[in-house]
Structure 1
Amino acid sequence: MPKPKKPHDTATAFQFINSTSQGPSDPEARKRIRSHVMQGKNRRRPRPAMPSWMSGDYGRHLPVDASEPAGTALSAPRTVGTDLSLTIFPDRMEPYMVKDIVDFLNVVKKALYPFEVILAPDKREQFWFNNLMIDSAYLHAVIFSTEAYYATLRGSSSSHLAVKHMLKSLNIVAERIASGDRDATSDTTISAVISLTMAAFFYGDYEAGEMHMEGLYKIIMLRGGLASLRGDAYGIQSKACRVDLGHALSTGRKPLFFADGISWDSYIATHAPIANFDPPPPRGDVVEVVNFVEKLDWRLVNIWRDLHEFAQLGNLAYQTQRQLQHDAFHEMMASIHYRLLHLLFSDSAADEAVRLGMLAFAATVFLQWVGVRLQYQRLRESLEAALRRLKNEVDDVPPWLVVWLIASGSVSVFQEVEGTWLQQWLDDTLKRVGVRSWGQARETLRGVMWIDLLHDRPGRAIFEDAMTRLASDAAVTSVARKA
């Protein structure tokens, strides 16, 4: 097996974590951060900029035209006063719609990022409100998304009004493309199609979502590809990737972007600042997991290292009250998911199980919504099948890798583990390792790959349920022996 490529000596290049006003919370963390800061300052040469994975800067060299086509920048009309209800929109709006839209966009903004508590504020989000005032296609797309969202909360199907606004948005986009309108590939047109695509997948209409996704892909290719969205004011590049990835996880189809020329080099572990820290080496059971993973396909090993590095970054940011940068967060989302989704190991049960386990774990970090568990049906089915195959075909799987795989799947995509063969495998494995407290289990899981902020609550519930079952079984066995 080819060896994973050695990280380049550019670890201090990545400005990923910003300090909040509160600063680090413990002396050891402050010491590590000071050490990292001084290492960067002690280098005489300037720190190079972090290459963009989504724009093709890292591992590939593609011509890029970052500018938006001439004439596609639309100016926002002035609002009348400061009340959004008095804003002049490009189409007729009922007063209740304005309030519903504002509430909906605020919900989406918070729900999109499970990491919101440690993500630095993203000033670009305001542009998504501003677009409502300058583009009718985007306005109707958001009205559709809003109406469909509230219909879902009520437990009803999308209303006739919601469908009407969806069709209006699609017709406007189609007219722009058919007429060769210069706004056909504008930021706001792309934003409209992203909104329609995201809404379709969120509400489980995969057929419509796939059609929207294909249309979005064609528009972005007409624009010049994902790289043409580099540095856009609205964060369109990352949102386009997000819906593409959601489409792939939901349907089992390959992502449309990055089908060719993908870089398999390590990305995060090469550049993240935590690479300059000196974390303690893995111990005991974790060493067994690391040694097992290191023997897998070298591309998978590089992704494992990146995702493990990101988990450490997330824990460090949370513990020291630091903040992650949105751009870096999205670059990591793309680099991890696209590489995992463009791999397939039909001839190796171990590689395929670890690949899908990492996808499930990464989805909880980058793609799940806060308070809403997205049903990535195909990922759930594929992971369960891969774990069954792993159990039947591989004898030397480290027990803590089994625990991590089942826990990651349970936190992410499995709807119900209790009463299934997965529950029995988890219980048997926990009994085998002899762990008795959540603190012990958590410490080992963190050594494998774990983010406290996201995984502690559901992970603890999974563990304690297992401990309750094991205690009950032990009590029954004891009574039977006495009898």
Structure 2
Amino acid sequence: MARAHQHFEFINVSPRAPGKPQTAERRKIRSHCMRGRNRRNPSAWLPENDMFPDHPVVEPNASLPSSEQEGSQFPTVTRVQSPLLSLPCLVDFAVEVDNESLRLLATVFPGAMSAFSLARFRLPSHFKSSQWSDWLLSDRAYVYFILAVCAVIQEFLLATQRSKHTMLCIRTAISQLNKTLSIHNTSLSNANIANVIALTLAALVANDHLSMSIHGNGLRRMVYLRGGFESFRGNPQILVVLSRIDLCVTLSSGQGPYFPRSDPVGLLHDLIKPHPQACLSLYSRQPVIHILDARLVPIFLDLQYLAWRINTATRARSEGIQEDEVHAGICVAQYRLWQLQGTMSDILGECLRVAMLSFLTTMFSLMNKRIGYDHATNQLRVLCCAIEVSTQQLHPVML
């Protein structure tokens, strides 16, 4: 009821006909009566229990070892079940929001938060935090950014054109960002990093390469001023999202990674801290034929092993792999593959390198709808067409 006064208006009646409103006021009454009606709900085509259906990873065809290590032995992050969006009308956000914004937060925000997670695999995790919801209650700018990205995602799901409401949300969010960046002691806070991540995600979903490049470069600058990835020690959730934004933007636009790593494995064990047995290279035990560049072999086998472990855990509903290990495996693989960019000596090796990068995107989706990656799609198509598939030895590799 605290916000009821914002939608309360007096109606002028006609002096000639007491008790009857004027013509212009009738339209206002009709508009208020129809508010919230006849609107398409983006969650209508997503049943509540089918938001993230079981969907095993497609793995390369090969025999793999059956042994695996279970569990994770690093300190757990606080797991808080936030009731934030169960009753959005009763939540006191950091700023007052209208009915349209409340509807966006209630229907789109949960799916947006799961865009880069592994929720559909239902893997056990110690990797959860309520910070993404808590900022809605304490950070004014964050509220505007989340509304902007939710509006863009809704248009993406409904396949509609950019609306005035979405443009207003984006302009308001950028205006708030400029204000917060002018405050020296909070300009590089985790919440501000999340704000720019939201802008970059919105541009990625909308396939707006220019905005994506601008926001991505700003994000890279902020992370650099923070001290790099190491500054997120103790908050691996942001680290994972940054690496995932890096992957998506690179495959979509063709530019280099924003956060190149010279030692991705060291970064993984220092900051994400997966189980020691995660992502072990199997190249000494499992030969891979027809791959001329030996540098690709351990990466290929690691991804093969990771996919096998995910499929096994998903089908058996066991705790054979933690969500943290999957995030770590994706993070290490993408940076190792980027280190090989421009160094491949044959077309087949480059085709396999791009294919493995594209394979990583199958781990996540946006409310059951895949985001498009134009550059990777075109590059992979050209490379596949350039390979002479009539060669008998290349059939299993191309498959």
Correspondent of 1:383 among 370, 375, 380: 380
Cα distance in 2 between the residues matched to 1:327 and 1:270 = 8
Which residue is 1:419 aligned to?
none
Q: 2:187 is paired with a residue of what secondary structure? A: helix
Which residue is 1:342 aligned to?
339
What whole-Å deviation, never above 9, does each CA across 1:328-348 have from its counterpart, x for those lacking one?
222211111122133224531
Correspondent of 2:164 among 160, 166, 171: 160
What whole-Å deviation, never above 9, does each CA across 1:26-58 have from its counterpart, x for those lacking one?
xxxxxx67x957xx9xxxxxx9869xxxxxxxx
Q: Which amino acid aligns with 2:156?
A: T
Q: Which amino acid aligns with 1:190?
A: I
What whole-Å deviation, never above 9, does each CA across 1:179-230 have from its counterpart, x for those lacking one?
3521111111111111111111011111111111111111111111111112
The answer to whether the Cα contact below 8 Å between 1:269 and 1:275 also exists between their aligned partners in 2 is no
The answer to whether the Cα contact below 8 Å between 2:279 and 2:329 also exists between their aligned partners in 1 is no
Which residue is 1:304 aligned to?
300
Which residue is 1:85 aligned to?
89
Correspondent of 1:100 among 98, 104, 118: 104
The answer to whether the Cα contact below 8 Å between 1:137 and 1:172 also exists between their aligned partners in 2 is yes
The answer to whether the Cα contact below 8 Å between 2:293 and 2:345 also exists between their aligned partners in 1 is no
CA 1:110–1:398: 2 relative to 1, 3 Å = same
Correspondent of 1:244 among 225, 243, 246: 246
Q: 1:391 is paired with a residue of what secondary structure? A: coil
- Distance apart, 1:89 and its partner CA: 2.2
Which residue is 2:180 aligned to?
176
Q: 2:348 is paired with a residue of what secondary structure? A: helix
Correspondent of 1:362 among 343, 360, 363: 360
Cα distance in 2 between the residues matched to 1:398 and 1:389 = 13
What whole-Å deviation, never above 9, does each CA across 1:364-410 have from its counterpart, x for those lacking one?
12x44452121111101111111122227x9464311111xxxxxxx
Which residue is 1:203 aligned to?
206
The answer to whether the Cα contact below 8 Å between 1:266 and 1:305 also exists between their aligned partners in 2 is no
CA 1:230–1:387: 2 relative to 1, 3 Å = same
Which residue is 2:313 aligned to?
317
- Aligned CA RMSD, in angstroms, stands at 3.7
The answer to whether the Cα contact below 8 Å between 1:241 and 1:334 also exists between their aligned partners in 2 is yes
Q: 2:160 is paired with a residue of what secondary structure? A: coil
Cα distance in 2 between the residues matched to 1:269 and 1:153 = 34
Q: 1:250 is paired with a residue of what secondary structure? A: helix
The answer to whether the Cα contact below 8 Å between 1:79 and 1:88 also exists between their aligned partners in 2 is no
Query: Are positions 1:328 and 2:325 aligned together?
Result: yes
- Distance apart, 1:146 and its partner CA: 1.6
Correspondent of 2:215 among 212, 215, 218: 212
What is the aligned residue count?
A: 321
Cα distance in 2 between the residues matched to 1:338 and 1:273 = 16
Q: 1:120 is paired with a residue of what secondary structure? A: coil
The answer to whether the Cα contact below 8 Å between 1:148 and 1:159 also exists between their aligned partners in 2 is no
- Distance apart, 1:124 and its partner CA: 3.0
Q: Which of the pair is proportionally richer in helix?
A: 1
Q: 2:108 is paired with a residue of what secondary structure? A: helix
The answer to whether the Cα contact below 8 Å between 2:232 and 2:238 also exists between their aligned partners in 1 is yes
CA 1:266–1:172: 2 relative to 1, 3 Å = closer
- Write the mapping of 1:397-412 to structure 2, written as runs, cut at 5 A: 397-403=393-399
Q: Which amino acid aligns with 1:255?
A: P
Q: 2:93 is paired with a residue of what secondary structure? A: coil
Task: Give 5+ residue unaligned stretches, structure 1.
Answer: 1-31, 41-46, 51-77, 404-483
> What TM-score, normalized by structure 2, do the two folds share?
0.70
> What TM-score, normalized by structure 1, do the two folds share?
0.59
CA 1:122–1:274: 2 relative to 1, 3 Å = closer
Q: Which amino acid aligns with 2:257?
A: P
The answer to whether the Cα contact below 8 Å between 1:131 and 1:188 also exists between their aligned partners in 2 is yes
Q: Which amino acid aligns with 1:252?
A: G
Cα distance in 2 between the residues matched to 1:304 and 1:162 = 42
- Write the mapping of 1:447-462 to structure 2, written as runs, cut at 5 A: none
Q: 1:93 is paired with a residue of what secondary structure? A: coil
- Distance apart, 1:355 and its partner CA: 0.7
Query: Are positions 1:149 and 2:182 aligned together?
Result: no
Task: Give 5+ residue unaligned stretches, structure 2.
Answer: 1-65, 76-81
The answer to whether the Cα contact below 8 Å between 1:79 and 1:86 also exists between their aligned partners in 2 is no
Cα distance in 1 between the residues matched to 2:126 and 2:120 = 10
CA 1:261–1:131: 2 relative to 1, 3 Å = same
Correspondent of 1:119 among 123, 138, 149: 123
